[in-house]
Amino acid sequence: MDSSNSKPLAEVAQDVSPMFKIYEDGRVERLVGNEIVPPSFDPKTSVDSKDIVYSPENNLSARLYIPKNTNNPKHKLPLVVYIYGGGFCIYSAFHPIYHNYVNTLVSEAKVIAVSVDHRRAPENPVPCAHEDSWAALKWVASHADGQGPEDWLNHYADFERVFIYGDSVGGNIAHHMVMRLPREILDGFNVVGIVLAHTYFWGKEPIGDETIDAETRAPIEKMWRAACPGTSGCDDPLINPFIGSSLANLGCKRVQVHVAEKDLMRDRGWFYYEKLKESGWGGEAKIIESKGEPHIFYLLGPTCDSAVAMRNKIASFFNEI
């Protein structure tokens, strides 16, 4: 169970501070990311939102966002499926940081967005988050014929212009979902491209200019093993996409990769971009590096110049014809 607000009554079995602690009795204490905000109309961005249940069996919801004055079914908007970060273990789609970010993105890019919540590790180990996100994607795709349960999607979403956008761990999940698309086709659901921002990829051996310092690498690896106790290690294909499959099979035609100069995972993003181009994949890939910035700076400081520039690049990506 999620016992974020419980007082510790047992010894700590695993300390993954400053993210969370696991106690010997199985309880999990999350140290950050516990706040949630309800859906609402946001007067600053003129974006409306509401929650829907996409997986009753697991009591999982997604949050839908739509720009104000979207009322012409003949002028449909690009559809963005957004997957939040949090190391598989912390935060949720309903945290103020993510809610505010998606509000702003929807307003600026003039898109409809579905922000997916999923079960969190360690109570629900990886790949539960991947499977939940796939279930959400199938729920969204059920509206492609205009007969789904949610009118915002039926009437105003363009299913010929679908994008998947993930940051950090969300980028990891987005990659794996698009790799799955060619094997499990969703009728009428055309994923044009993906945005991978500061994606949580890793590996046993350092690459590029990635740090070789074991102490610096340890927190990433520790969090991964806590999220996926059954993992084979940091070369598990779930965290190292260059193991076990070819990027040539990526099920979209456009990719935009974002990296940050001071992010420990910067070189993984560059490596992904380079390997994708070398793979024989037939699409178009671009990479944008934010100079002088750390991991997920655009969420922590959304009004800074670098964050605004990054959103502009993403908005343009969603609206290219």
Catalytic residue set = 168, 263, 295
Alpha helices (runs of H) in 204-304, residue ranges in sequence order: 214-227, 266-278, 297-300
Instruction: Residue 155: name the closest of 82, 219, 64 by CA.
Output: 64
CA distance 231 to 237: 9
Quote the Cα angle for 130-131-132, to 5°.
Answer: 90
Closest alpha carbon to 172 in 271, 85, 235, 294: 85
Q: Are 88 and 236 in contact (CB under 8 A)?
A: no
SS3 content of the chain, % helix, strand, coil (to 5): 30, 25, 45
- Give the dihedral sign, CA 302/296/36/71: positive
What Rg do the C-alpha atoms of the chain give, in angstroms?
Answer: 19
Pick from 316, 248, 311: nearest CA to 45 = 311
Buried b (16+ CB within 10 A) or exposed e, 183-208: eeebeebbbbbbbbbbbbbbbeeeee
Q: How many CA atoms lie within 13 A of 133 on its CB side?
A: 31
Query: Which two three-digit tokens encode residue 257?
Result: 């990769």
Would the CA dihedral through 222, 228, 231, 235 be positive or negative?
negative
Cα 219 from Cα 81, distance rounded (Å): 29
Which residues face 284 on adjacent strands? Answer: 254
